[in-house]
Amino acid sequence: MTQQNDLMTREEVLALLEIKPATLYAYVSRGLIRARPHEDGRKSLYLRRDVERLGTRKRGRAPTGSVAESTMRFGDPVLHSAITQITPHGPRYRNRLATDLASAGASFESVVHLLMTGIWQDSIAIWSPQETPPDVLRFLSTYNGDVVSADIGNLLGMVPFALAMQGRGPREIADGGAVQAARLMLHCMAGCVGFLGPKRAYVARTADETVAAQILRAAGAEVTPETLRAVNAALVLTADNELAPATFAARVAASTNADLFSCVAAAIGSHIGFSTGTSTEKIETLLLCEPFDALDSRKDRVREYGASLFAFNHPLYPGGDARADLMLQLAELAAQRDEAAGTDVRRAAQTRLTLDFLARMREELSAHPGLAMGIVVLARALGLPDGTATAIWVVGRSAGWVAHVMEQRTQAFMLRPRAKYGFGGPIEPAVAPPVDPPKARRHDEVMK
């Protein structure tokens, strides 16, 4: 996910830091500057943020503005948070590894409660029933049959705004009803998976249904203990990842005292940007697409665009993303079940081809699958329609967005960084040309 303009060549580093090559190699070996392989395989590129940070140390302590500017470029922490810690084994939600929670079968509902309140209750499996507001149902009904897989992120982004109507947004703030509002929002978004399923319409939750069960039923998939466990695990694994861009957007909105629905809508708008959440859709349409027996012919796409388009090699998890690895294991189990039952043989074969291809990419290109890849492969292995991976990611991550909104409210300050104007030099104030004083005119001229 590191972009080209975030990297520097050896010559650029040497010139900026005014050092010799041997000194640069010493910095790299000590971990002060991290390197990335050049696409030609013979040279190395260096992370700009590391170089700039070291440069400020060499010149003395950087001004506050310079430090703040560097932290905005995937740099040092910029906010205090007690929600999620990034570890080599994946995110840790309030001291509990996400992969451990998913592997143990912890319900998504319990994880949502943990993220929002800091309290662990493993008995939470089904939330109390809440009816979808009639005006929201009318709004969603206008899209029956008109939503394609690439649209699902935009549709989910409209759901929170619809829920904020009819005074529900202001009431959420006034009544302190964030928890109930979050539960309603999650089930409404899960019901939108129905637009991708056979009904091509919103599928409301039943009284005894979990979020995972609603997603499966809405998608038209078989609801079994195995499929429930797999979708529940995907929701748990996507629930939070610290200050991702969309999470930061939610916190910025929360710092302005926006209601919960508007904060989540702001997050979704950031999440479905070209460089983040849409990677699931690009994986479905550009990489893991028909014909599956030609996956090896797309090796160059992984080499050239793996990080930017398909979210391989997440910079927070250079050794591989444990969340993606767990979802790929669940996809493998789904393929084994299909093969043992003798049903969906074609789907199982596609899953096998996909997993083998990803294993080769990991071995040959050091391309470690990211979260987006894990969700897509698992959704395909479960027979879910394209677009469901995007929906699962948004529904799952909404739990983290809500938690961050609630935490930001307790910190009670506005997130408002300053801009450093950098277009040319200072502009001199315009000086008006001198004006001659008016001359006295004769009375007869005035009368004319």
For 392-428, how does the pLDDT look when each residue is reduced to its tens digit (9 = 90+)?
999 999 999 999 999 999 998 999 888 877 765 555 6
Task: Give a yes or no: residue 368 inside a domain.
Answer: yes
First to last CA, the chain: 77
Same-domain pairing of 396 and 261: yes
Determine how many CB atoms are found less than 10 A away from the CB of residue 308: 16
pLDDT of residue 446: 46
Task: Give a yes or no: residue 160 inside a domain.
Answer: yes
Report cis status (omega within 30 of 0) of the bond before 170: no
Q: Are 299 and 358 in contact (CB under 8 A)?
A: no
* Lowest-confidence pick of 41-45, 58-62, 223-227: 58-62
Angle at 266 between CA 252 and CA 117, to 5 degrees: 65
Number of independent structural domains in the chain: 2
Indicate whether 443 pLDDT > 60. Answer: no
Task: Give a yes or no: residue 429 inside a domain.
Answer: no
Same-domain pairing of 163 and 266: yes
Indicate whether 2 pLDDT > 50. Answer: no
Of 341, 325, 339, 347, the residue nearest 221 (C-alpha): 347
Which of 36 and 69 is assigned the larger pLDDT? 36
How would DSSP label each residue in 86-141? EETTEEEETTEEHHHHHHTT--HHHHHHHHHHS---TT--SPPP-PPPHHHHHHHH
Confidence class for position 27, pLDDT limits 50, 70, 90: confident
CA atoms within 13 A on the CB side of 118: 6
pLDDT of residue 66: 55
Same-domain pairing of 122 and 237: yes
Confidence class for position 1, pLDDT limits 50, 70, 90: very low
Structural domain of residue 354, as residue ranges? 84-411
- Radius of gyration of the CA atoms of the chain, in A: 26
Which of 127 and 432 is assigned the larger pLDDT? 127
One-letter identity of residue 109: E
Cα-based torsion angle of the residue sequence 296, 302, 304, 307 in order, rounded to the nearest 10 degrees: 180
Confidence class for position 63, pLDDT limits 50, 70, 90: low
Same-domain pairing of 48 and 147: no
Confidence class for position 123, pLDDT limits 50, 70, 90: confident
pLDDT of residue 367: 95
Of 297, 303, 372, the residue nearest 37 (C-alpha): 303
The predicted model scores a pTM of 0.81
Same-domain pairing of 93 and 40: no
Same-domain pairing of 37 and 125: no
Same-domain pairing of 180 and 240: yes
Task: Give a yes or no: residue 243 inside a domain.
Answer: yes
What does the block give as tokens for 53? 């940070």
Confidence class for position 78, pLDDT limits 50, 70, 90: confident
Task: Give a yes or no: residue 419 inside a domain.
Answer: no
pLDDT of residue 428: 61
Same-domain pairing of 252 and 307: yes
* Lowest-confidence pick of 65-69, 202-206, 297-301, 373-377: 65-69
Residue owning tokens 């996507």: 238
The strand pairing partners of 7, in sequence order, are 47
Task: Give a yes or no: residue 447 inside a domain.
Answer: no
Order across the sheet with 7-8: list the strands. 7-8, 44-47, 35-37
Same-domain pairing of 132 and 221: yes
Task: Give a yes or no: residue 64 inside a domain.
Answer: no
What does the block give as tokens for 278? 């849409």
Q: Mind listing the pLDDT tens digit for each residue in 92-112?
A: 999 999 999 999 999 999 999
pLDDT of residue 221: 96
Of 201, 399, 403, 378, the residue nearest 280 (C-alpha): 378
Average pLDDT over residues 53-75: 62
Same-domain pairing of 177 and 244: yes
pLDDT of residue 258: 97
Q: Are 97 and 87 in contact (CB under 8 A)?
A: yes
Same-domain pairing of 265 and 207: yes
d(CA 120, CA 115) in angstroms, rounded, equals: 9
CA atoms within 13 A on the CB side of 165: 13
Q: Are 234 and 210 in contact (CB under 8 A)?
A: no
d(CA 413, CA 398) in angstroms, rounded, equals: 22
Backbone region of residue 291 per phi and psi (left: phi > 0; alpha: psi in -120 to 50; beta: other values):
beta
Which whole-number Å values give the CA distances from 358 to 25, 59, 70, 298, in the listed order? 32, 45, 34, 11
The share of the chain scoring above pLDDT 90, in percent, equals: 70
Q: Are 44 and 36 in contact (CB under 8 A)?
A: yes
Q: Mind listing the pLDDT tens digit for each residue in 305-334?
A: 999 899 999 989 988 999 999 999 999 999
CATH number at residue 202: 1.10.580.10
Q: Mind listing the pLDDT tens digit for each residue in 335-387?
A: 999 999 998 899 999 999 999 999 999 999 999 999 999 999 999 999 999 99
Three-class SS state of 374: helix
Same-domain pairing of 213 and 152: yes
Task: Give a yes or no: residue 89 inside a domain.
Answer: yes
Instruction: Work out the mean pLDDT of the chain and round it to a whole number.
Output: 89
